[in-house]
C-alpha cells in the first residue's frame, strides 16, 4: 500500500530552505562520502568467501536453519562457493541478519574456544569485521549491539543505494516543504532530528542484539509524516493511494493517514515477508511525530501557521458557496443569491470571480448603490491581458445599457477608461466617451492623450480617415499638449 499527501503546492517565491538543505546534505553524503562503500563492502565479502570462515561458520548456520525447519534440503554451499554463485553471498547476508545466531556467534557459543580452529576463526572474523567497518555505512550506521552515540545521528544521513536515497528524498520533499511553512524552519528541523532519534531508539529497544547497521532518513521522514497527520488534524486533505492494481485520489481528514501508515508498517512487519526495511523504525518515527504534533498544537498553538493549513479548506468552502450562489441565480432566487454573494464579497473582497457574480445579481436592482459600486470596481480592475480588457469593455457596454446611460463615473475616470479602451482596440466605445467629454468638459486633463490613443486605435483598425481626423483635431484643439508633439 502506497499513500502520499498531495495537499499543498510549493511556493518557489518562498522556497523551503531547510528541506532543500536536508536533501542536498543527504545527496552529498551518499554521492561523495559514501562513494567507495560498495567497493569496500565487496572487498570485505570477498575476503570472507576466500578465507576459512565459510568452512567454519556455514556448517553451524545451515544446521541451525535445518533445526528451525527453515530449510528442508541440505545446502551444498561448498560446490556453490567453488562455482562462484550468489548462494554463498546470500547465505552470508542471511546469517549476518540473523540476530539470534549472530548473538551466539559473537559470544563464542557457536565457535567455542575448544574448537580446533578457534584461533584462526577469531583472527579472520576480526579482520572481516575490520574490513566492513571501513565502509561509511557500516562504520557510521546504527548497530544496536555495537552502538556508538554518534551513530544515533549519523545514520539519518546515510543510505544503502540510489533507489533508497531517491525514495526517501521524494517523501522528504513532499511532506517536508509543507511542514516547514506550517511550523517555521527551526521547529521543523528540530522535530525532524527528534523524530529520527526516536525512530532509532525504538529500533534499538526491539532489536538490541542486531549488528546489521541501520541507515537512512526514513525514520525521521516517518516522524514528519506522523507530524503532518496531527498538524492538519481533522482538516480534509487530498492524497494519492496505490493498492495492488488500483490507485486513485481521495480527500479525507488528515488524521486518518496516521492510522493507515501505522497499519501498513505493522502489516509489512508481521506479514510482509523477509525484508531489509526497518519497519520498526518507521513505526517509532510515526508515533514520535504524531506526539510532537499533538504537543505543539495543545501547548504552543501560536507556533503553527493555521492560516496556511486552512487555505485549502477555505478554498473548498469558497467554491461550494460560490456554486450555491450561482445555482440560486440560475433559479432566479435573486434576493438569496444577492445575500450569498454580498457575504462572499465581504469575506473575499479581492476575489474577481465573486465580484463578477455579485455584479450579475445586482443588475436586477440597477438603482442600488451596491450595483454602481461593484461596477466601478470591475471597470477599474488592473490587467492588460486581452481577457481582462475584453471583460472591462463588455461590462461598460452592459452598464451603459442597463442604466440607460445614467452612469455614475467621474469625468476623470471616464477619460482613463476611454484611453484604456482605445489602447485595447475598442475604438467605438472610446470614441463615444471622448466625444461626450469634449461636449461637457472640453478642458478636462487627459483628453488629448485619450484622443491620440483613439487616433492610433483607428489606424490599427484600418480606418485612416478617422485616424487622420483625430490626429488633426489633437493638433488644432490641444496644440501645446505633449500629444500634439
Instruction: Return the domain boundaries, the chain.
Output: 2-33+154-305, 37-134, 310-409, 413-485
Distance CA 92, CA 88 (A): 6
- Let me know: does 168 contact 1? Beta carbons within 8 Å: no
How many CB atoms sit inside 10 A of residue 101's CB? 20
Distance of CA 450 to the CA centre of its chain: 49
What is the model's pLDDT at position 7? 80
Query: Measured between alpha carbons, how far apart are the two ends of the chain, in Å?
Result: 74
Supply the pLDDT for residue 1: 62
Hey, what's the cell of 323?
A: 456554486
Angle separating helix axes 279-299 and 185-206, nearest 10 degrees: 140
Using CA atoms, how far apart are residues 409 and 401, in angstroms rounded to an integer?
15
Classify the phi-psi angles of 338: left when phi > 0, otherwise alpha if psi is within -120 to 50, otherwise beta: alpha
Write down the pTM of the prediction. 0.76
Cell digits for 100?
539470534
pLDDT of the residue at 316: 85
Per-residue model confidence as pLDDT tens for the chain (485 residues): 678 888 888 888 889 999 999 999 999 999 999 999 999 999 999 999 999 999 999 999 999 999 988 887 878 878 877 777 888 999 999 999 888 999 999 999 999 999 999 999 999 999 999 999 999 999 999 999 888 999 999 999 999 999 999 999 999 999 999 999 999 999 999 999 999 999 999 999 999 988 889 999 999 999 999 999 999 999 988 888 777 777 888 888 999 999 999 999 999 998 877 788 999 999 999 999 999 999 999 999 999 999 999 988 888 889 999 999 999 999 999 999 999 999 999 988 989 999 999 999 999 999 899 999 999 999 998 888 899 999 999 999 999 999 888 889 999 999 999 999 999 999 999 999 999 999 999 889 999 999 999 999 999 999 999 999 999 988 988 888 887 77
Grid cell for residue 49: 568467501
pLDDT value of residue 359: 93
413-485 folds as 1.25.40
Of 3.40.50, 1.20.1540, 1.20.1530, 2.60.40, which CATH number belongs to 2-33+154-305?
A: 1.20.1540
Are residues 47 and 127 in contact, defined by beta-carbon separation less than 8 angstroms?
yes
Are both 2-33+154-305 and 413-485 of the same fold?
no
pLDDT for position 22:
98
CA atoms within 13 A on the CB side of 94: 15
- Rg of the chain in Å (alpha carbons): 37
What is the CATH T-level fold of the domain 310-409, as seen in this structure? Answer: 1.25.40
Structure confidence at residue 211 (pLDDT): 87
CB neighbours of residue 37 within 10 Å: 21
Amino acid at each position: 500500500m502506497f499513500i502520499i499527501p498531495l495537499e499543498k503546492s510549493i511556493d518557489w517565491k518562498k522556497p523551503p530552505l531547510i528541506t532543500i538543505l536536508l536533501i542536498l546534505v543527504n545527496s552529498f553524503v551518499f554521492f561523495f562520502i559514501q562513494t567507495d562503500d560498495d567497493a569496500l563492502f565487496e572487498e570485505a565479502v570477498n575476503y570472507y568467501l576466500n578465507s576459512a570462515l565459510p568452512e567454519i561458520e556455514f556448517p553451524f548456520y545451515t544446521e541451525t536453519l535445518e533445526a528451525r525447519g527453515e530449510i528442508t534440503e541440505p545446502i551444498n554451499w561448498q560446490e556453490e562457493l567453488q562455482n562462484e554463485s550468489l548462494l554463498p553471498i546470500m547465505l552470508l547476508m542471511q546469517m549476518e541478519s540473523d540476530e539470534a545466531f549472530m548473538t551466539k556467534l559473537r559470544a563464542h557459543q557457536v565457535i567455542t574456544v575448544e574448537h580446533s580452529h578457534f584461533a584462526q576463526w577469531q583472527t579472520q572474523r576480526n579482520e572481516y569485521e575490520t574490513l566492513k567497518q571501513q565502509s561509511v555505512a557500516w562504520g557510521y550506521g546504527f548497530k544496536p549491539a555495537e552502538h556508538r552515540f554518534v551513530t544515533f545521528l549519523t545514520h539519518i544521513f546515510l543510505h544503502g543505494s540510489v533507489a533508497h536515497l531517491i525514495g526517501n528524498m521524494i517523501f522528504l520533499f513532499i511532506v517536508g516543504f509543507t511542514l516547514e511553512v506550517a511550523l517555521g524552519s527551526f521547529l521543523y528541523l528540530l522535530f525532524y532530528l527528534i523524530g529520527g532519534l526516536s525512530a532509532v531508539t525504538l529500533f534499538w529497544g526491539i532489536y538490541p542484539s542486531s549488528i546489521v547497521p541501520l541507515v537512512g532518513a526514513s525514520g525521521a521522514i516517518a516522524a514528519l509524516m506522523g507530524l503532518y497527520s496531527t498538524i492538519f488534524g481533522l482538516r480534509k486533505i487530498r492524497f494519492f493511494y496505490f493498492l495492488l492494481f488500483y490507485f486513485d485520489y481521495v480527500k479525507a481528514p488528515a488524521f486518518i493517514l496516521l492510522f493507515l501508515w501505522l497499519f501498513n508498517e505493522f502489516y509489512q512487519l508481521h506479514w510482509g515477508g523477509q525484508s531489509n526495511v526497518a519497519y520498526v523504525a518507521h513505526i517509532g518515527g510515526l508515533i514520535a511525530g504524531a506526539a510532537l504534533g499533538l504537543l505543539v498544537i495543545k501547548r504552543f498553538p501560536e507556533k503553527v501557521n493555521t492560516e496556511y493549513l486552512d487555505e485549502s479548506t477555505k478554498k473548498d468552502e469558497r467554491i461550494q458557496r460560490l456554486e450555491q450562489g450561482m445555482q440560486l441565480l440560475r433559479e432566479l432566487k435573486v434576493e438569496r443569491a444577492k445575500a450569498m454573494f454580498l457575504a462572499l464579497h465581504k469575506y473575499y473582497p479581492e476575489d474577481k470571480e465573486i465580484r463578477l457574480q455579485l455584479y450579475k445579481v445586482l443588475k436586477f436592482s440597477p438603482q442600488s448603490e451596491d450595483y454602481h459600486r461593484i461596477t466601478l470596481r470591475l471597470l477599474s480592475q488592473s490587467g492588460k491581458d486581452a481577457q481582462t480588457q475584453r471583460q472591462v469593455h463588455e461590462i461598460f457596454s452592459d452598464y451603459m445599457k442597463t442604466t440607460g446611460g445614467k452612469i455614475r463615473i467621474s469625468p476623470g475616470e471616464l477619460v482613463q477608461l476611454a484611453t484604456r479602451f482605445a489602447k485595447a482596440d475598442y475604438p467605438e466605445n472610446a470614441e463615444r466617451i471622448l466625444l461626450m467629454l469634449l461636449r461637457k468638459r472640453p478642458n478636462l486633463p487627459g483628453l488629448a492623450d485619450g484622443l491620440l490613443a483613439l487616433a492610433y486605435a483607428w489606424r490599427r483598425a484600418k480606418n485612416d480617415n478617422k485616424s487622420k481626423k483625430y490626429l488633426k483635431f489633437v493638433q488644432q484643439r490641444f496644440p501645446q499638449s505633449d500629444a500634439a508633439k
